[in-house]
Amino acid sequence: MTTPRRPRVFMDIAVDGSPVGRVIFQLFADIVPKTSENFRALCTGERGKSLTSGQTLYYKNSIFHRVIPEFMIQGGDFTKKNGTGGESIYGAPFPDEDFSLPVDAAGLLVMANRGPHTNSSQFFITLAPAEHLNGKHVVFGKVVRGMEIVKAMEEIQTDAKDNPLKKVEVVGCGELEFKGQPGTTAAAAAAAATTSRAAPSKRERSPSRSRSRSRSRSRSGSRSGDSSGSEVESDEEERARRERKRRRKEEKREAKRRRKEEKKLAKATARAGSADGSNAVDPPVMETEEEYDLRLEREEQERREAARLEAQKRQREISKMGKIDERTGIRYKGRGQMRFNDPEKYRSRP
């Protein structure tokens, strides 16, 4: 049985309102499941409002309030947005889960705390190895895409308290999912492929045989005489039309039968896996890591292209409205920037 894939989440970052890109994290849910689930749920916002504080448990619109070059950038305070707040999906701060992963590289996702067992929602991304934090902070993920965005955030100027002078905001966040057919296992996929390659049923007839029969009939009809030629042609067209209709029905019937068999097989394998853990089947067959990374890169390019086209469209709309002289307040419109006089303002007096 293969190891389940680790979840991936993303954050879209903007600096002073200008989008700079997307950072994608992989969460170590197999090692620290409680810490990973807290971060994942705060990225999706699926828990809604907190029963304790009334705040929405969501990283969107939160900021990175602390930047220390060659060390880390810190965020996750969605309640006060200054490093003194934050809240976990479990209500109260939850304990440190596991210190087995060292803080030994850049791009690690680490929980921030105020001491032992005080984890909430604040986190930081390492910019360099920090072994002095081993045994004090829980590592629960890493950056898998967008490290150049993290490095750009590192370059932002800060004040004496390490607060960035520009607003570094999370304008969007959520979870990324592998694409695949839910509930389809490797055994089910192989069985479905075997079923699709099986010989046709008794009720099915080969289209080539049908065409050969129709051709033989047309030849026999042509030999009956020239006087019945038009009738033979009309009969041939009618038979061809009926044959096409019959084939469509058979194709629909076969597709429906295959869907039923796939559902039955998927249910049977699921029951077998739940009844006996030793006979558990492999996880769903989905896209590979390479296909997943390629798809993410393609979607990121499409998103940037859409943002660029939207900016161009907005610029064209602004240019259509005309240019206003700030000194005189006169609006100039058109390619030659002709003077535009408001008819209401400059209406001729009787």
pLDDT by residue (tens digit) across 255-266?
Answer: 888 888 888 887
Choose the weakest-confidence range: 35-49, 82-96, 159-173, 180-194: 180-194
Active site residue: 55, 113, 134, 181, which one?
113
Given a cut of 90, is residue 154 above it in pLDDT?
A: yes
Q: Give residue 182's pLDDT.
A: 43
Mind listing the pLDDT tens digit for each residue in 108-141? 999 999 999 999 999 999 999 999 999 999 999 9
The span from the CA of 80 to the CA of 78, in Å, is: 6
Task: Tell me the mean pLDDT in the region 287-314.
Answer: 78
Given a cut of 90, is residue 42 above it in pLDDT?
A: yes
Given a cut of 80, is residue 25 above it in pLDDT?
A: yes
Task: Tell me the mean pLDDT in the region 8-32.
Answer: 95
Q: Give residue 183's pLDDT.
A: 44
Q: Where are the alpha helices (DSSP H) in the chain?
A: 33-44, 147-154, 186-196, 207-223, 229-275, 289-321
Q: Give residue 331's pLDDT.
A: 65
Active site residue: 25, 26, 57, 74, which one?
74
Task: Tell me the mean pLDDT in the region 251-276.
Answer: 76
Active site residue 124: yes
Active site residue: 133, 176, 265, 296, which one?
133
Mind listing the pLDDT tens digit for each residue in 227-251? 455 565 677 778 888 888 888 888 8
| Tokens encoding 187 | 């055994």
Given a cut of 90, is residue 283 above it in pLDDT?
A: no
Active site residue 145: no
Band (pLDDT 50/70/90 cuts) for residue 201 is very low
Task: Tell me the mean pLDDT in the region 295-318.
Answer: 81
Please report, for residues 31, 175, 254, 265, 292, the alpha-carbon distance to residue 183 in angstroms, rounded to integers and kept in the order given: 25, 20, 22, 10, 19
Active site residue: 22, 40, 65, 137, which one?
137
Phi-psi region of 21 (alpha: psi -120 to 50; beta: other; left: phi over 0): left
pTM of model > 0.85: no
Band (pLDDT 50/70/90 cuts) for residue 189 is very low
Active site residue 71: yes
Residue whose C-alpha is closest to residue 163's, from 86, 262, 92, 67: 67
Active site residue 312: no
Q: Give residue 235's pLDDT.
A: 77
Q: Give residue 129's pLDDT.
A: 95
Mind listing the pLDDT tens digit for each residue in 62-90? 999 999 999 999 999 999 999 999 999 99
Active site residue: 64, 78, 124, 140, which one?
124
Active site residue 10: no
CA atoms within 13 A on the CB side of 178: 18
Active site residue: 5, 55, 71, 258, which one?
71
| Tokens encoding 310 | 């939207």
Q: Give residue 334's Cα distance to chain centre.
A: 43
Active site residue 66: yes
| Tokens encoding 82 | 């200054």
Active site residue: 8, 65, 66, 145, which one?
66
Active site residue 137: yes
Q: Give residue 318's pLDDT.
A: 73
